[in-house]
């Protein structure tokens, strides 16, 4: 799977400069301290993790660090990790510009035990992370490796069931595209731009792995973690389908809030 992950890494390196300037991430508003259009997720994350002040927090697959910095602003001692060196450089620059103390490590998540020492009271990851991981069991073992006994792991992510439907179809209907019981090989998707910068002059080739919910839950159980909460939601952090509508709190939902299928899930676990 290494060739696919290297191709994805190169793609994220190409994406990052456009993401930093994108309306999707609205970095200027973030730097100015203006409320981001993601109140739904701020509320959800804080509800799941509680007060993080004074706690050590490891943010896996942090991209260019917006959420890592937000956790640091809430008082956590934050270490963000990403396999894109361009994204990590951007995260360090942004944290420095904002005067926020946070550590950023360039590493493939699977190689992180060789590149980072210590354990953390919180391990966190969210929104569009699972599909870039070919081996969930190895990933969950990394989570367990870095989580202190009694610490909390939290993931908020798009629901695996929603990913089997055609996300390019413009008509407001669900059309099956991929089998839920997918094989080990990744899906290859080719398109212009990126999810955050669709007009960017980029030719993107993505390699994405589809996982079942039982794969996700089972990986943490096999890694020795105890699941403490699991919830499903009828909204998600990005326009998963072109015909979704944005809510006032920054979440995306089916028209009228119809709850036809689960679009997102959250899971917490402890060691």
pLDDT digits (tens, 9 = 90+) for 198-233: 999 999 999 999 999 999 999 999 999 999 999 999
Rounded-to-integer distance, Cα 250 and Cα 238, Å: 9
Helix (H, G, I), strand (E, B) or coil at 254: coil
**Res 69: pLDDT:** 97
User: Tokens at residue 156, please?
Assistant: 């908020």
Fill in the DSSP letter of residue 122. E
Give me the residues paired with residue 58 across strands.
Answer: 79, 123
Helices marked H in 32-147 — which ranges?
39-49, 66-73, 85-98, 112-115, 136-146
Q: Rounded to the nearest 5°, which phi and psi values hold at 127?
A: 55, 90
**Res 183: pLDDT:** 86
**Res 31: pLDDT:** 94
**Res 36: pLDDT:** 72
Domains in the chain with CATH codes: 2-270 (3.40.50.150)
Fill in the DSSP letter of residue 110. G
User: Tokens at residue 246, please?
Assistant: 């944005």
CA angle 165, 170, 174 (to 5 degrees): 30
**Res 155: pLDDT:** 98
pLDDT at 83 over 90: yes
pLDDT one-digit tens code per residue, 149-171 = 999 999 999 999 999 999 999 99
Residues with Cβ within 8 Å of 137's Cβ and at least 6 positions away in sequence, in order, are 219, 222, 223
Residues with Cβ within 8 Å of 207's Cβ and at least 6 positions away in sequence, in order, are 4, 5, 7, 8, 186, 187, 188
pTM confidence score:
0.96
Q: What is the mean pLDDT of the chain?
A: 96
């Amino acid at each position: 799977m290494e060739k696919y992950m290297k191709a994805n890494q190169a793609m994220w390196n190409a994406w990052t400069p456009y993401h930093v300037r994108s309306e999707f991430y609205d970095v200027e508003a973030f730097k100015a301290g203006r409320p981001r259009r993601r109140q739904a997720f701020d509320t959800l994350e804080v509800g799941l993790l509680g007060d993080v002040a004074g706690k050590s927090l490891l943010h896996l697959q942090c991209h260019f660090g917006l959420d890592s910095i937000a956790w640091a602003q809430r008082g956590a001692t934050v270490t963000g990790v990403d396999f894109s060196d361009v994204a990590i450089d951007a995260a360090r620059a942004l944290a420095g510009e904002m005067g926020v103390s946070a550590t950023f490590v360039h590493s493939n998540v699977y190689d992180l035990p060789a590149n980072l020492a210590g354990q953390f009271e919180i391990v966190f990851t969210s929104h569009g992370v699972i599909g870039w991981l070919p081996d969930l069991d190895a990933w969950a073992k990394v989570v367990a490796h870095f989580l202190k006994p009694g610490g909390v792991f939290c993931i908020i992510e798009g629901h695996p069931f929603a990913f089997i439907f055609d996300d390019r179809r413009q008509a407001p209907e669900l059309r099956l595209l991929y089998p839920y019981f997918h094989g080990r090989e990744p899906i290859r998707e080719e398109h212009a731009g990126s999810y955050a910068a669709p007009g960017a002059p980029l030719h993107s080739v993505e390699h994405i792995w589809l996982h079942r919910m039982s794969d996700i839950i089972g990986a943490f159980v096999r890694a020795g973690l105890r699941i403490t909460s699991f919830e499903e939601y009828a909204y998600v952090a990005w326009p998963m389908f072109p015909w979704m509508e944005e809510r006032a709190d920054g979440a995306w939902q089916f028209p009228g809030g119809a709850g036809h299928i689960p679009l997102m899930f959250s899971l917490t676990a402890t060691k």
